[in-house]
Amino acid sequence: MRTAKRITAADVARLARVSTATVSLIVNGKADGRVSAGTRARVLAAVDELGYRVDAVARELATGRRHGVGLIVPDLANPYFSQLTQGVAAGLGGGHRLSLIIADPVRDPDPGSLDRLLAGGVAGILAEAPAADLIRELDGRAPVVVLDRPSPEADHPYVGFALDDGALALADHLLGLGHTRIGYLDADIGAPTFEVRRARMERRLREAAGHGFTGPAVRCRTDIDAAAEAFAARWDAWRAAGVTALVCAADVHAYGVLRAAGRLGVAVPGELSVAAFDDLPFSAVTGPPLTTVRLSAFDLGFRAAELLVGVMGGRPMDAAVPLLPATLRVRGSTAPPAGPSEPRPGAGAGGAR
């Protein structure tokens, strides 16, 4: 906790027989014509000998400039968020350090950790789908860019996906295959992105089939195990309701469904088609490969980071950032429903594209 005694600019100055001002100029490369070659060499030698490094904390205090960017995400175990983080890191480019707050998606981050984040010399904040409370809490503390949801509470600039397109495409895909009774496995948090995914699909189903989703409304954590359990517990009810296709709010849910279906002996897509949203890299290698709506979390993070850097740099934020695409990827987990009479016809089980 307590840092060992550091080497300060004063130490260097003493050894090089100059003032700390000179040391500062030199280590910051601002010594153009202002410092003689001799002095410069002496100072550099001293720096080297002592192993001096400028203390950035002191530097940030002195200059008033902060170089950190804080990222608030719910859960790095979900590849969606780690891709997003990777995108943020890339979009930030050099020159910024990235501080992470992993916040329980349900509860907002505790105020302490928020303070700690802001504490670390944070000049801007990236918040993934923050709850309204958090948005308010953040507002005014530093430039903020919101990801994956609009920020009506404080109109921060935000980046998100054209979810409508994706939801529509998925609904039409399933409808086109001949499914009419479709179940939905939702996330257990009421984030806008999940609201939209479900609501938009449901509206389309209503238009086309005269009714929305079929069977029990199920919500569960975005976690393979939780989804597997949820599916196992509800499959009977869904089947009883005649469900032939199940849409999951996120790929991770679908992974759980696939696992549980395998164990229960439910053939996918023979007996049940499964589809989802996200298109994580693993969705191409599940058994069977997953039909899903691609939402590039990497791009989302990248764009958000770029935007934040711009805003921090004083660029006026045009809140109207174009939405990122959401396009359907059809793979092996969806197929036409089995005829009611013939239990399992040809069921093209699995098989990548």
Partner DNA sequence: GTGAAAGCGCTAACAC
Partner DNA sequence: GTGTTAGCGCTTTCAC
Within 13-32, which residues bind DNA (CB under 7 A)? 17-25, 27-28, 30
Q: Choosing among a second copy, DNA, none, which partner's interface includes residue 27 (Cβ < 5 to 8 Å by kind)? A: DNA
Q: Mark residues 35-64: x for contact with DNA by CB under 7 A, - for none.
A: xx-xxx-----------xxxx--xx-xxxx
Report the sign of the C-alpha dihedral through residues 7, 10, 14, 17, in that order. positive
Helix, strand or coil for residue 218?
strand
Judge whether 228 and 256 are in contact, CB under 8 Å.
yes
Cβ 141 to DNA shortest distance, Å: 13
**Interaction residues for DNA, span 59-88 (CB under 7 A):** 59, 61-64
CB of 61 to a second copy, least distance (A): 5
Distance CA 263, CA 258 (A): 9
* For a second copy, the closer CB: 133 or 207: 133
Q: Cβ closer to DNA: 36 or 285?
A: 36
- Strand 182-187 with 158-159, pairing: unpaired
Nearest residue (CB) to DNA, 61 versus 217: 61
Q: Which does 336 bind (CB under 5 to 8 A by kind): DNA, a second copy, none?
A: none
| Nearer to DNA (CB atom), residue 140 or residue 210 | 140
Residue pair 71/85 in contact by the 8 Å Cβ criterion: yes
Inter-residue contact 101 to 114 (CB < 8 Å): yes
Residue of 236, 231, 237, 198 whose CA lies nearest to 216: 237
Q: Tell the smallest beta-carbon distance from residue 183 to DNA (Å).
A: 54
Question: Pairing mode, if any, of strands 327-329 and 182-187?
Answer: unpaired
CB of 54 to DNA, least distance (A): 4
Does position 106 bind DNA by CB under 7 A? no
> Among residues 49 and 207, whose Cβ is nearest to DNA?
49
* 125 Cβ contact partners less than 8 Å away, ≥ 6 residues apart: 69, 70, 71, 72, 117, 118, 138, 141, 142, 143, 144, 145, 308
Specify whether the CB–CB gap between 204 and 167 falls below 8 A: yes
Instruction: Provide the residue type at 74 as one letter.
Output: P
Tell me the window of 2-10, 126-134, 214-222, 321-329 that interacts with DNA (CB under 7 A): 2-10
Shortest reach from residue 55's CB to a second copy, in Å: 8
Contact residues toward DNA (CB under 7 A) are 5-6, 8-10, 17-25, 27-28, 30, 33-36, 38-40, 52-55, 58-59, 61-64
